Structures are given as structure tokens and as C-alpha cells.
Copies of this chain bind each other. A is one copy, B any other.
């Protein structure tokens, strides 16, 4: 963890943060982002996504010289070979990662220096849904529980405030709790 260095707090350049906020206030269209992933089936449960470019801040981003590659799979008990985390585990990771980044950014903006942020996320599901064995249970998680431990140079109340604000502003927390309309297009051949 970095401490405060110049305008950097919690590893976040707060000067750049304020400049970004000012810029978006002036030109709201710069806040439009379009993220994307390409996925290809390998074999069985094994598949791989490639993530590199995205549109945002008024242009196609070119900051990533190399793509990120993410492997997915299933454990043997779900008919796979552990070629990667399974998709619902990736959702738990996305949620933990987003809340963590939100906590770190909100703390930086509020001049709170953090020393640690740790979390565990757990999701429960009944596989009869996804296996098509029961219409009485849903396919996905019935519930998710998140547990954070945050330490820093601020009062407990202030740290709790930071977490509350982060939760209120997290993109993935919003996606997972409120859902998103998804359109699906299929080409076959």
C-alpha cells in the first residue's frame, strides 16, 4: 500500500481524479463507456475470454499493449476439469473487486488514508435450476453475502461512511443487485 505522496493517496492520483470529474461535469458525453469481451469455446467447460480495447472518454482506448486473457471452466463435480474459475465465481470476484476499488477511490477523495481492505464474498445456489431439474429454484445465486474488513487512518465512523458511499456508487454492486437488460443475438451454421 502506498501512503500519501504528493497528490497520490491510496495509490490514486487525486489531482487526476478531480481533473477527471471537472472534465466530465463540463462534457458529460465523455462519461460514456462501452466495455467488451470476446469469448471462444476451447473444449468441454473450458473457454477463454479476451479483453483489451473499450470505448470511453470520447475515444477507443489504446492503453493496453497486450490483451487480458481469462480462462473459465468448471470443477469435476460440475463436469469440468478446473481449467479456470467457474462463471459464478467470476461474478463474486467482480463484485469484491468493484467494491474494493470504490472504497479506495472514495477514501482518496475524502482524504482518508487506508492501510488494508480485505473481503470475502460467498454466493449460494441450487444447481437443480441450471441443470433443468426444477423450476422452483432459480438458476443463479439465491443470495450473496459480502464481508469487508477495512483499516485506515480515520475514525471507525469515517471508515464505515466510506464503505457505505462506495456501496452506493459501485457499478458491479448495482449490476448484481438490480440486474441489467441483456439482448442476445445468435448466428448459427
Residues of A at under 8 Å CB distance from B? 1-2, 10-13, 16-17, 20-21, 24-25, 28, 31-47, 49, 51, 54, 56-57, 61, 63-64, 68, 70, 72, 74-80, 82, 84-105, 114, 116-134, 138-151, 156, 159-160, 163, 165, 167, 169-189
Minimum CB–CB distance from A108 to chain B (whole Å) comes to: 9
Cα A86 to Cα B71 in complex, Å, equals 16
Given contacts A17-B79, A138-B174, contact A37 B92 (CB under 8 A): yes
List, in ascending order, chain B residues with CB within 8 A of A25's CB: 133
Complex interface: chain B residues within 8 A of A32 (CB): 124, 126-127
Given contacts A56-B127, A180-B123, contact A92 B144 (CB under 8 A): no
Asked if residues A172 and B133 are in contact (CB atoms below 8 Å), the reply is: no
**12 examples of A-B residue contacts, CB within 8 angstroms:** A2-B44, A12-B44, A35-B123, A37-B121, A41-B118, A47-B101, A51-B92, A90-B94, A144-B180, A144-B181, A175-B176, A176-B179
Please give the count of copies of this chain that the complex contains: 2
CA distance A75 to B65 in the complex (A): 12
A180 smallest CB distance to B (angstroms): 5
Q: B141–A180 contact, CB under 8 A?
A: yes
Other than the given A47-B97, A146-B183, 4 more pairs (CB < 8 A) read: A17-B79, A41-B100, A130-B170, A160-B186
Top 9 nearest A-B pairs by Cβ distance? A11-B44, A87-B98, A179-B179, A72-B97, A39-B96, A140-B175, A140-B174, A41-B117, A11-B43
Complex CA gap A124/B36 in Å reads 9
A102 to chain B, nearest CB (A): 7
Task: Point out the residue from B20, B56, B125, B156 that lies within 8 Å of A79, measured CB to CB.
Answer: B20
